[in-house]
Structures are given as structure tokens and as C-alpha cells.
Structure 1
């Protein structure tokens, strides 16, 4: 996460990961607009994914109307991407507002909003169909 100050405008770049999805969020002062891959958040077709993405903004209330957020995300499925975007936005908002109140609010609501989720898929083993499934044995 880095911070750039140019012409007295604060810009925060943050990232979030979930499974194989990686999201990068750029947060600037604005009027409350959110774009994901250059598409406004209102036009995301999956309702559950949209609610996951907008959770951090709903939690901070009126502060959300003071920033514009642009997110680029790739990899994984649409729910994994939504969680990665959620993490990137939450981390960026904590850094942008530099407030312990916002950080404690996010941690109290869901600690994975800031820390991420370390679970990954288990790799497939040789001689099997998948990570754990083995060949069936027949004794008759």
C-alpha cells in the first residue's frame, strides 16, 4: 500500500487477494463513485457479489460520499473477485482516512475484511482423480 501526494490531493493505492483473485484499488477524493474494471458498481450483475463489494462503504456511512474508488481485478471466479475487491477497498479506506475508528469498525464487523483469508485449494496428487479422492477398491 502506497500513498502519493500531488498538488495537495491524497491518493491511496491498496490491494487485496482471495484464492487466485488479485484486486488493486485506487482511492481519491470525490463524490462517492465506485468502478470495478471500468464498470460502475451499480451495473454488476451478481447481487450477492455487489453487496460484498459495497459492504465497507455501507459500514462507514457518509464518509463513503467523499471518495472515488477505481478497482482493477483479475483471476479466480466472480465471488473470489468480489472478496478481493472488498479487501482492497477496506484496506484503502483505512489508509485514506487514517482513522483507528474505521479500522476497529471493520475488524469488529469481519476481521477478514482487513487481514484476508489464507485458505487455498489443495493441489492435486499424482495417481488420483483430485486432491483427496482415490480409486475405489472392489474385493469381490
Structure 2
């Protein structure tokens, strides 16, 4: 059985394919152990810390990530992986465990950075006004 899911964070989009297998997790065709920085790798593997380890040995996961920086990519990947595990196992108990741990494991964070506008250095900040 093959399950396809996706996750988003900022401008990063991750698409995960979960299938029965032997516990291999690949991010953009590389083993997850090679992902740098380490904080991003730990973030991507968070769904497996919530559930028991034997779940990881039963599935192979391939994740393709486009866009964003390393933090957004890590969050998008963890959402895609968690959704894929829930869908693949069709397990309401697993879904509840993820929701209790962190809602963003299953729900995309829709916040986007606001575009810069004229009259200032950023989206909201304005240039200082001088009277003299």
C-alpha cells in the first residue's frame, strides 16, 4: 500500500510517499541521517519520537521538498511524514497522540511573511521623519 501526503510551512512544500518497507527514510533522495543542520533532522524525525519505534521499521518514507529555508523545510517535512503515518496506518489513536503532542504535526501553519511596501525598510516599519 502506498500513501501520498503533503505538508507546508512558509514557502516550503514537502510531499511524502509512505509505503510498507524496512524503515528507510529519504529526504530528496538522501538518507535522513545526512540532513544538515542537526536541528532540522531532529525536527523531521519528531513524529517517530511520539510513537513507538516499531512503527518506523514497518515503513519506507520518501520526502521531496521544494522552496523555503532549512527551518521551513523541516517543518513541512515533519507535517508530511506525520500525516503519511496516520493515513498509512488508518489509526485514530495515532492521530490523537500527534494532536496532543503538537497540532502542527497534522495541520499546516498557514502564516506567510508579509511583503515589503514602499516608504520604509520592511513590511511595517517606516523611515524616520525629520522636521529639521
1:111 aligns with one of 103, 106, 115 = 103
Tell me, yes or no, if the aligned pair for 1:58 and 1:64 is still in contact at 8 Å.
no
- The number of equivalent residue pairs is 131
Partner of 1:78: 70
TM-score normalised by the chain length of structure 2 = 0.95
SS of corresponding position for 2:106: helix
2:23 aligns with one of 16, 32, 35 = 32
Q: Which structure 2 residue ranges, 5 or more long, are not aligned? A: none
CA displacement 1:31-70 (0-9 Å, x = unmatched) = 1110000110011121110000001122222111100000
Partner of 2:79: 87
Moved >4 Å (runs of 4+): none
Q: Which structure 1 residue ranges, 5 or more long, are not aligned? A: 1-9
Partner of 1:129: 121
SS of corresponding position for 1:92: helix
Quick one: distance in 1 between partners of 2:127 and 2:81? Answer: 44
CA RMSD of aligned residues (A): 0.9
**Residue 95 of structure 1, CA deviation:** 0.3
